[in-house]
Structure 1
Amino acid sequence: MSALDKIKKMLKGHEDQAGKGVDRTGDMIDDRTQGKHSKHVDTGQDRLKQQFGSDRDPDNPPRA
């Protein structure tokens, strides 16, 4: 089992909190780098949210 699989298992049911953590971390990195790498940080945030399932909108479920 990979580290990412273990993290996903731990975060199951707490996707919204994981998404908030990803957002806060990205904002902190943007502050420390003075926005120099904001495009890369945003891309990383989006990919992490997809991996953890926190990019899903509860009011707008994905279509099957």
Structure 2
Amino acid sequence: MGLDDIVNQGKQFLEQNKDKIDEVIHSDKAEEVSDSVLDVAADVVKKVAPDQFDAKVGEVRDQVDGAIGT
């Protein structure tokens, strides 16, 4: 089985389960998990990036958060 076969199987799986996946992504549990992960990621970036980028990091974090969970 080649890489193309694996990619095609993944695409088929996503297409066949699109409704279930969408339901999970927009669940309360996904919101809880994503908030935790995004908070940690944003804090790490803020620690290593210059302070002038803190606001932008917060904006990006909020945009990603809006796409996941409830």
The TM-score with structure 1 as length reference comes to 0.60
Q: Which one-letter code corresponds to 2:46 in the other structure?
A: D
Alignment of 1:15-30 (within 5 A): 15-30=31-46
1:35 to 51, 55, 59: 51
Could you list the runs of 5+ residues in structure 2 that have no partner in the other structure? 1-10, 12-17
| Residue correspondences, number | 48
Structure 1 residue 20: deviation in Å? 0.7
Identity %: 15
Match of 2:3 in 1: none
Give the CA deviation at 1:15.
Answer: 1.7
Aligned twin of 2:66: 50
- Given that 1:30 and 1:36 are in contact with CA atoms closer than 8 Å, whether structure 2 keeps it comes out as no
Contact 2:30 2:68 in 1 (8 A): no
Q: Give unpaired runs (5+ residues) of structure 1.
A: 57-64
Based on CA coordinates, which of the two structures has the bigger radius of gyration?
2
Larger fraction in helix? 2
